[in-house]
Structure 1
């Protein structure tokens, strides 16, 4: 004899399952039911990911960074060009001012030293001091100090050679002072036209009192 389940109990169970399914769908969760033992449905909730809060972001967009970098580079280039032009201008002014004062004396000194044998008779009365490049606009220059220790008025002719690291003379300059009184000093300047590199050494080659 078969046993039928009363319609009342079956309908109640279907309603419960339906309500469970509706509940699962309304909160976007995954549900599973277990009929074993009639324990009902169990639900596991997977939370939705929270989008980032862009108001907390810091920094500059890439396009703005590139623009800023270009501006910085352009500005630095302009400053470098301006500084180079300024240095060149100062060097030209320095060389011009020295040349105006010493051109004739240099020509006279070269002429006087042409026939001088050895180092001359006045090397002990001549000293040399390098002039800082910052003061000459990057031009290599040497300050010559001539001190007349002869006891009477005299004229002086000086030859300075510039040698490279190998000891080879790459440039020769002349400078002089005419009619220097006894006990007095003169401070002409010798200017090299050679590049800043390689480093050169200034050597007092001849000094003649006449």
Structure 2
């Protein structure tokens, strides 16, 4: 059977491709041999290289890093909350101490004024240096509150004591309180508060009964 020109040409192309593949394989083997020989040479030679891909090292990486960061953030947030709570507790404690201190000073001043008024005849010698004004109940949680204004109108340092009575609608005294100011300089003024402890009803009327300078 005769071979057609097209079939003959196709056979030649296949033969050429096979020959090229063999040449590539031989060249690759030769290169591999050269690399192998170089790696066994003297220590001063070029370092050996490998065409094979190398997996990246993972020793310096940790899959737990995000978790560690989250833990650190939570620790910082917790510390901030504890700090804020501690600051709030400290502020509350300081406020309680301040209120207790004010309460103790008010009670001491009250006792001092009461003691100073013992034995005072009449209404005292300082009625024109003591005045009273009421505060709106809306500003005092509906408590009857009186502002006692004490002004030293003399030219010497002085202390003052005042007695405030609360009268019911019939004129009967149902409560008595004392207030004072100590060591006021000439022209100085102090405004202590007097708060009734009686119920809102019946309505009481405050009265400045005595005022003594001593």
In the superposition, the TM-score normalised over structure 2's length comes to: 0.52
Where 2:122 maps in the other structure, the secondary structure is coil
Q: Does 1:154 align with 2:173?
A: no
**Cα distance in 2, alignment partners of residues 97 and 131 from structure 1:** 24
1:37 corresponds to: none
Cα 1:98–1:162, aligned 2, differ >3 Å: closer, same or farther?
A: farther
**Cα distance in 2, alignment partners of residues 197 and 150 from structure 1:** 40
- Report the count of equivalent residues: 116
Cα deviation for residue 99 of structure 1 reads 3.6
Greater strand content: 1
- The one of 162, 178, 188 equivalent to 1:184 is 188
**Cα distance in 2, alignment partners of residues 144 and 102 from structure 1:** 13
- The one of 183, 193, 198 equivalent to 1:194 is 198
* Contact 1:130/1:142, CA 8 A, preserved across alignment: yes
- The one of 100, 105, 108 equivalent to 1:104 is 108
* RMSD, matched Cα: 1.7
**Cα distance in 1, alignment partners of residues 109 and 130 from structure 2:** 16
Cα deviation for residue 115 of structure 1 reads 0.6
Cα 1:97–1:198, aligned 2, differ >3 Å: closer, same or farther?
A: farther
Cα 1:137–1:171, aligned 2, differ >3 Å: closer, same or farther?
A: same
Runs of 5+ consecutive residues of structure 1 not aligned to the other structure:
1-94
Where 1:167 maps in the other structure, the secondary structure is coil
**Cα distance in 2, alignment partners of residues 144 and 170 from structure 1:** 19
Where 1:156 maps in the other structure, the secondary structure is strand
Cα 1:97–1:191, aligned 2, differ >3 Å: closer, same or farther?
A: farther
1:208 corresponds to: 212
1:122 corresponds to: 126
Q: Does 1:133 align with 2:137?
A: yes
Cα 1:131–1:99, aligned 2, differ >3 Å: closer, same or farther?
A: farther
Cα 1:129–1:101, aligned 2, differ >3 Å: closer, same or farther?
A: farther
* Contact 1:159/1:174, CA 8 A, preserved across alignment: yes
**Cα distance in 2, alignment partners of residues 203 and 185 from structure 1:** 20
1:163 corresponds to: 167
2:178 corresponds to: 174
